[in-house]
Chain A
Amino acid sequence: MATQRKKKEKKPARKKPDKFYLDRIVVIDWKDERRLRRFITDRGKIAARRITGTNARHQRQLAIAIKRARHMAMLPFVKEHYR
């Protein structure tokens, strides 16, 4: 006898909106430390696009901005006390 198991509906994940688009940011600024902090993980890595919803173009700009901010010691490369 066939078991009438209802297949679990897998809804496609809702696409996250690009935050720079929502905030009407056209130039991602390395000086904007507060904003950049939202796009790094708690270890200090640059957060993946699939996590943050950032679009490809902004992710490229973002990576550059974060690297500049790191160079100027405004953002960490790694958080040392992390284990």
Chain B
Amino acid sequence: MPGDSENHHPFLTAGHALHRTWLGRSEDTVHREDPQVRKYEFAYILDPGLDDGAVAESMARYVKLIQDQGGEVTQQDIWGRRKLAYEINKKTDGVYVYIRMRGTRKVVDELHRALRFDESIMRNLIVIDEDAERRNAEARAHMPNPDAVDRDRDRDRDRDRDRDRDRDRERPERGERADMRMGG
């Protein structure tokens, strides 16, 4: 939108503000013409009334939209029908679709626009992809197991601390009691 660039916060225009909101959406603080290519996760819940063909079609449509806007789809999955944790539009189930992509802010804006008009979609989420599965798997492979390391360290530390505390406590307590006896 022309004109609203004046309102942009100078430190928040680069797009890192995206990380700050839990929905990943902060049009007010992120510059709309941010040209930087990022990885995104895009998930949505479809009406459970649709058949498998319609679900696949819906996914293909969004994949195409992303590609038309210059984005690149790196993963597309239909998680399938799942029970919802709460009712949405009186429905207790939904069909989950999950897409991973790479693209600019423009792709995300276009997706949001298209999603507004898609009545078969009950919920959607577009957030920065932090590659959770891969990074956690790597951590598991390369980090030392804290379970094993820590147990020894904790035990030593606790033992030292308990011993020091018991020793420090002996004397002041005795003095205190003597005072009380005199007063009473």
Contact = CB atoms under 8 A, between A and B. Distances in A.
Interface in A47-81: 63-64, 67-68, 70-77, 80
B184 interface: yes
Interface stretch (B2-10, B64-72, B81-89, B110-118): B81-89
A27 B131 contact: yes
Contacts of B98: 31
Contacts of B94: 73
Interface string B37-70: 0000001010000000000000000000000000
Given A28-B132, A64-B22, A73-B45, A2 B181 contact: yes
Contact of A29 (B133, B173, B177): B133
Interface of B: 22-23, 43, 45, 82, 84-86, 88, 94, 96, 98, 123, 125, 127, 130-133, 135-136, 139-140, 143, 145-147, 150, 158, 173, 177, 180-181, 184
Contact of B130 (A17, A22, A27): A27
Contacts of B125: 30, 68, 71-72
